[in-house]
């Protein structure tokens, strides 16, 4: 679990964003927003999509609505006010709040109503996209609610700037992904399969305490397939391997990309990879407070093309990352959001050519007052295996 | 990827369930249903909740709607008809369907409309809970659509009976979870932390090629906390450890539970665990075709209480499992669904007492013509570590 200072700091940031948006109450149902607001990450909400859960953040209080099955873990997490719904029996000889959670309220909507009661008459309420239509309607129907407005952006704005404890978790997640790729490449050789390498990546991440989330490993023509799942295809001499790997530490994600060749790379592999690295390094060179996200994108595309890979067509060359793998802003056209100290970005310049192969390099940085600092510390060159 | 016979068999089952429900078309947006219908599992839909995706299954065709970024993987999977949306550039020297996917349709709703066009005038359309409200409204507004009806249950009914290839994947997922728990208990001793054991479980599952999904490990009083995340708490002599573990193989989940004690168990630990095993074994004894799910529940509760753990209060004592960890029917009151050969169930009798601890035993079976067969093969007794 994150330290108490970081948890309080996140809640303060969210509350400030709420006030800046002239809102009196936030009702958030997206698990990442619930975590950010309350400090609580529900296992059930993670593994059973659609498990309803909500954090209600007002000017001076926070209330969590979650299944009764979460009651003991919520109590331990020190969330404070908690309204459980549904049936789950915790026995107890001595009084314990979780022992009284079962059957308190029958449904999520019942519990949400009770949670809303506690806030009295609120004027403007912000809701995120994680709340179902029925829950939004229930909020809108409350006496005293003047307006219900979409507030996903409010939450993303708060979450965009990371606190020290968040950067620490992101750094550990990034290091774990790097360690996974490195272990796989050290163990790799002719005849290894995509699945075998993916297993090495994932088991290394898991052994380090991270939760593996995605492990894309593609060889040869499959390296061009984007987010394709690993297969039993074997790695043959001269072929590319593209890695795109992510895991989670304390809810914070990583997303790291690297490319390798089995044996000596040919001229085209070297030249193209050099162009992609030039693009990513150009991004690293300009990423700083005040620079707009779309400027970083433009710099990346120009640098790749200037280095000889033309045309270089991309919809984005990076994204912010945190409690979700893609946050906002995105490093893409149309995102004129200026970067701010504390934002954490994945910068990437992938290239996919069907029939030939795919390559990528992707690193993570935190924006600092003077520019940026890498959270990934890991050779950025084209990896050469078994030559 | 599952073998072609299983993939076709799943689609046939779904189509039959559609016809049985007097529907002309299914429009499914839940990733598990999309996988079941199409054979395609999108990485993006896995890791970015809310990524819209849909499978449209009619009497004689299937159309997949997914992001353009999925185009190469979809083509490789041999899904057939595919309508991509959004921007993602695959380059190609020779013509390739994925190279033409970018910017074909701007949004998911645009692509969904084109996919629906291909089916002409359809009368009754079933939709699942994975489709957003806007998508459902778009379906309802099509000329020729007489009715739009909820069809999540239709999909669950089709998915409830597993084909041989599905049972094989579920068996491998169950074996991987068992191997993870066994490895952790072999490596465990005094002073080990919950996180350390959870890492051993997860890395063992990942090394075996499965994707870890949840690893609950709780010691002492934390073993009673239900689905709580592992912490740095150390295991002390005499204390319980409760494991509740799941992973995924080819999209199919496992969910296995075991309990251990560090050193010799005391009388109460032994007696209570024996009662829980008696409950699970009673379930194993009655699980057979024609028996209703709620009867299995009643048998479990009676057997635990008869063995001396009274009162034994539970909301369920098991659930079906497949492309989701909780499918339907559930082994709980109100589920009078008769079991059918080919259903795969997790049978479990957990007990949570705050201030004392939690225990559970959970195994997976497939219903056979003569009863059931275990997919978990793993000692069911109370594990005794380091005595």
What pTM, to 2 d.p., does this model score?
0.97
Q: What is the DSSP letter of B163?
A: P
Task: Residue B109: name the closest of B82, B139, B68 by CA.
Answer: B139
Q: Please report, for residues A162, A281, A315, the alpha-carbon distance to residue A291 in angstroms, rounded to integers and kept in the order given.
A: 17, 16, 19
Q: Does A213 touch chain B (CB under 8 A)?
A: yes
Contact B225, A72 (CB under 8 A): yes
Q: What is the pLDDT of residues A286-334, one digit of tens each?
A: 999 999 999 999 999 999 999 999 999 999 999 999 999 999 999 999 9
Per CB-CB distance under 8 Å, the chain A contacts of B46 are 214
Q: Residue B43 is nearest to which of A207, A224, A229, comparing CB atoms?
A: A229
Contact A286, A292 (CB under 8 A): no
Q: What is the pLDDT of residues A217-233, one digit of tens each?
A: 999 999 999 999 999 99
Tokens representing residue A335 in the block: 């995102």
Interchain contact, B226 vs A88, CB within 8 Å? yes
Residue of B nearest to A68 (CA): B226
The whole-angstrom separation of Cα B63 and Cα A44 is: 32
Q: Does A221 touch chain B (CB under 8 A)?
A: no
Q: What is the pLDDT of residues A150-194, one digit of tens each?
A: 999 999 999 999 999 999 999 999 999 999 999 999 999 999 999
**Averaged pLDDT, B105-134:** 95
Contact B307, B279 (CB under 8 A): yes
Parse chain A into domains and list their residue ranges: 4-159, 164-385
Name the minimum distance, in Å, from the CA of A232 to any CA of chain B. 10
Interchain contact, B354 vs A48, CB within 8 Å? no
In this prediction, the answer to ipTM > 0.85 reads yes
Domain B4-159 is found in CATH 3.40.50.300: no
Q: Which residues contact A158 (CB under 8 A, 6 or more apart)?
A: A10, A13, A14, A16, A17, A36
Q: Are strands A318-320 and A371-374 parallel, antiparallel or unpaired?
A: unpaired
Partner B, chain A 105-144, Cβ-Cβ below 8 Å:
129, 133
The whole-angstrom separation of Cα A13 and Cα A165 is: 14
Mean of per-residue pLDDT scores for chain A: 97
- On the question of pLDDT at A387 being above 80, the answer is no
Which helix (H) or strand (E) segment is A38 a member of? helix A31-38
Q: What is the pLDDT of residues A245-268, one digit of tens each?
A: 999 999 999 999 999 999 999 999
Q: Residue A207 is nearest to which of B73, B199, B326, comparing CB atoms?
A: B199
Interchain contact, A206 vs B211, CB within 8 Å? no
Which helix (H) or strand (E) segment is B64 a member of? strand B62-67
Q: What per-residue confidence (pLDDT) applies to B387?
A: 66
Q: Residue B133 is nearest to which of A1, A89, A133, comparing CB atoms?
A: A133
DSSP string, A102-113: TTSSSSHHHHHH
The whole-angstrom separation of Cα A331 and Cα A301 is: 11
Interchain contact, B356 vs A73, CB within 8 Å? no
Residue of A nearest to B1 (CA): A231
The whole-angstrom separation of Cα B204 and Cα A206 is: 9
Q: Which listed CATH number (3.40.50.300, 3.40.50.720, 3.90.230.10, 3.40.50.11440) goes with A164-385?
A: 3.90.230.10
Within B68-226, where are the H helices?
71-77, 108-117, 133-140, 152-160, 164-187, 194-207
Q: What is the DSSP letter of B332?
A: S
Per CB-CB distance under 8 Å, the chain B contacts of A72 are 224-226, 228, 352, 354
Contact B357, B365 (CB under 8 A): no
First to last CA, chain B: 43
Contact A127, A28 (CB under 8 A): yes
Contact A348, A216 (CB under 8 A): no
Task: Quickly count: other Cβ atoms within 10 Å of residue A383's Cβ.
Answer: 19
Intrachain domains A4-159 and A164-385 with the same fold: no
């Amino acid at each position: 679990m994150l330290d108490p200072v970081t948890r309080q700091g996140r809640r303060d940031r969210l509350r400030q964003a709420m006030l800046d948006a002239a809102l009196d109450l936030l009702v958030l149902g997206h698990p990442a927003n619930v975590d950010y607001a309350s400090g609580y990450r529900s296992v059930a909400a993670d593994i059973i999509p659609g498990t309803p859960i909500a954090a209600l953040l007002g000017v001076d209080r926070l209330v969590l609505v979650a299944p009764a099955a979460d009651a003991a873990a919520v109590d331990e997490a020190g969330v404070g006010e908690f309204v459980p719904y549904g049936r789950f029996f915790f026995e107890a000889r001595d009084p314990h709040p979780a022992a009284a959670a079962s059957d308190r309220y029958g449904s999520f909507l019942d519990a949400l109503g009770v949670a809303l009661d506690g806030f009295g008459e609120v004027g403007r309420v912000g809701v995120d996209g994680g709340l179902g239509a029925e829950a939004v309607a229930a909020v809108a129907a409350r006496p005293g609610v003047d307006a219900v407005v979409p507030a996903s952006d409010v939450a993303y704005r708060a979450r965009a700037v990371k606190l020290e404890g968040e950067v620490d978790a992101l750094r550990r997640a990034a290091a774990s992904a790097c360690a996974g790729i490195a272990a796989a490449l050290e163990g790799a050789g002719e005849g290894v399969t995509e699945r075998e390498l993916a297993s090495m990546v994932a088991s290394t991440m898991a052994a380090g305490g991270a939760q593996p989330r995605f492990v894309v490993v593609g060889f040869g023509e499959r390296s061009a397939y984007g987010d394709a799942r690993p297969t039993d295809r074997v790695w043959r001499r001269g072929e590319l391997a593209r890695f795109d790997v992510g895991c989670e530490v304390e809810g914070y994600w990583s997303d790291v990309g690297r490319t390798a060749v089995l044996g000596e790379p040919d001229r085209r592999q070297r030249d193209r990879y050099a162009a992609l690295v030039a693009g990513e390094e150009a991004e690293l060179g300009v990423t700083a407070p005040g620079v707009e996200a779309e400027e970083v994108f433009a710099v990346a595309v120009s640098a790749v093309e200037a280095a000889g890979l033309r045309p270089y067509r991309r919809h984005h060359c990076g994204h912010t990352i945190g409690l979700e793998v893609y946050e906002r802003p995105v490093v893409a056209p149309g995102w004129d959001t200026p970067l701010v100290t504390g934002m954490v970005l994945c910068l990437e310049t992938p290239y996919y050519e069907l029939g030939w192969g795919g390559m990528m390099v992707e690193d993570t940085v935190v924006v600092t007052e003077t520019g940026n600092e890498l959270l990934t510390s890991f050779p950025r060159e084209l990896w050469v295996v078994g030559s």
